């Protein structure tokens, strides 16, 4: 750390970390850097992620956002965000309970964007001039991301406190008066000209996780390696996986690694897996990506950042929320190919053609990718100054 970091005056900072992988991953480095600045940091963190802060000198308030009993009652056709709405509802309730009892005088608060702090503060009555919101990617969208169905898991907490918690995804794109720590660069942000002086672009965190020695993949050097992943939330798009199998089955040109998420029963779902396919419930993505030639991704911001950093050519197949805008920006900056399911039927032929095109254009994508990565580095280089301003 620089002398500027070491000499920063210490503040007491409360951080309500995200409850989803992408959101939490984005906050880890911010927490680590604030602690390195000498700040006294307290993290409100789920038991699922608490051990990822073990090496960081912070205070931890660990709680469970587990709603597995609710999940058992959801119908099989429930949308991907259904269970998350109950997780957000539970986490919000526990966070409010804690803050109502906590008598600590914090100088600043950082909240993951999924916490509806504006509505929560009608009860908490904290000094909202001390608030900052941590955003995983964009604060603008060209897609309609508002869905009141997602509030179903928030209703119990809303009733307990007589408030009206809003759609947690919609919060990302709802204007507010708080300072915003945005984990991207202004260059990469959708319509950067429409952001304001409450927006602080601090660049993404690409986490280097420990090598998973149990991952038994072996690359076939005679073939191009394609990695397919729809992330942790939208990994149950079975039709898309089967179309990928149809596109590349028994190919002499491509070797395929497919990560289908923990909720898919591989043995029951996939019969007669082609010999050039390896299908996993989990793949250590940052470990694999440096070997990948083409990355088919759902365009989640963390996965996209990791893909760009790895140098893999990308085919972006957005599923929901900001992913459509991420894919759009990557294509506009000439760093990958977007396949938008709202505009086209993504058939096996289209998948195959897109991968061929991405591979053939991988050299031309390098200039666009370099411009994005350079902007990320520049944004990250400004973090010290931004922290000193926001947490003065």
CB-based burial label for 298 (10 Å; 0-12, 13-18, 19+): buried
What pLDDT, on a 0 to 100 scale, did the predictor assign at position 213?
A: 79
Q: DSSP secondary structure string, 281-314? A: S---HHHHGGG-SEEEE---HHHHHHHHHHT-EE
What pLDDT, on a 0 to 100 scale, did the predictor assign at position 5?
A: 45
Tell me which residue of 41, 83, 117, 2 sits closest to 263, measured CA to CA: 83
What pLDDT, on a 0 to 100 scale, did the predictor assign at position 235?
A: 66
What pLDDT, on a 0 to 100 scale, did the predictor assign at position 1?
A: 43
- Helix, strand, coil % (nearest 5) of the chain? 40, 15, 45
> Domains of the chain by range and CATH?
3-182 (3.40.50.2000), 224-375 (3.40.50.2000)
Angle 301-310/362-381 helices, nearest 10 degrees? 110
**Which ranges in the chain belong to alpha helices (H)?**
3-6, 21-36, 68-73, 82-101, 117-124, 155-161, 238-248, 266-269, 285-288, 301-310, 323-332, 348-360, 362-381, 383-390
What pLDDT, on a 0 to 100 scale, did the predictor assign at position 76?
A: 74
325 contacts 190 by C-beta, under 8 angstroms: yes
Please identify every stretch of the chain with a pLDDT value under 50, giving residue numbers as ranges: 1-8
Model confidence over 104-150: pLDDT tens digits?
A: 999 999 999 999 999 999 999 999 999 999 998 899 888 777 888 88
């Amino acid at each position: 750390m620089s002398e500027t970091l070491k000499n920063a005056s210490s503040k007491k900072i409360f951080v309500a970390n995200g409850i989803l992988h992408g959101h939490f991953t984005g906050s880890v480095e911010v927490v680590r850097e604030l602690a390195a600045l000498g700040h006294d940091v307290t993290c409100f963190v789920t038991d699922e992620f608490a051990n990822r802060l073990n090496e960081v000198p912070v205070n931890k308030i660990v709680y469970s956002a587990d709603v597995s009993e609710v999940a058992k009652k959801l119908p099989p056709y429930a949308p991907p965000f259904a269970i998350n709405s109950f997780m957000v509802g539970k986490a919000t309730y526990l966070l409010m309970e804690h803050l109502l009892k906590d008598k600590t005088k914090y100088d600043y608060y950082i909240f993951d964007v999924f916490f509806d702090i504006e509505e929560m503060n009608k009860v908490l009555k904290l000094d909202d001039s001390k608030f900052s919101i941590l955003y995983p990617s964009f604060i603008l969208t060209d897609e309609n991301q508002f869905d009141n169905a997602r509030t179903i898991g928030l209703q119990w907490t809303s009733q307990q406190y007589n408030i009206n918690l809003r759609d947690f995804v919609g919060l990302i794109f709802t204007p507010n008066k708080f300072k915003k720590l945005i984990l991207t660069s202004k260059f990469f942000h959708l319509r950067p000209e429409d952001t304001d002086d409450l927006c602080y672009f601090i660049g993404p965190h690409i986490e280097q996780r420990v090598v998973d020695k149990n991952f038994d993949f072996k690359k076939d050097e005679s073939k191009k390696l394609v990695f397919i992943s729809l992330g942790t939330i939208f990994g149950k798009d079975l039709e898309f996986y089967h179309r990928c199998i149809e596109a590349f089955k028994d190919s002499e040109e491509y070797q395929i690694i497919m990560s289908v998420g923990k909720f898919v029963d591989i043995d029951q779902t996939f019969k007669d897996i082609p010999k050039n396919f390896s299908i996993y419930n989990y793949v250590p993505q940052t470990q694999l990506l440096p070997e990948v030639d083409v990355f088919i991704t759902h365009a989640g911001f963390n996965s996209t950042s990791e893909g760009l950093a790895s140098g893999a050519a990308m085919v972006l197949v957005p599923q929901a929320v900001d992913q459509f805008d991420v894919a759009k920006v990557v294509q506009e900056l000439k760093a990958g190919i977007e396949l938008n399911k709202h505009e086209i039927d993504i058939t096996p032929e289209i998948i195959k053609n897109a991968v061929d095109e991405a591979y053939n254009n991988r050299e031309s994508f390098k200039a666009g990718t370099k411009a994005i990565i350079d902007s990320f580095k520049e944004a990250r280089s400004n973090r010290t100054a931004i922290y000193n301003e926001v947490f003065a």
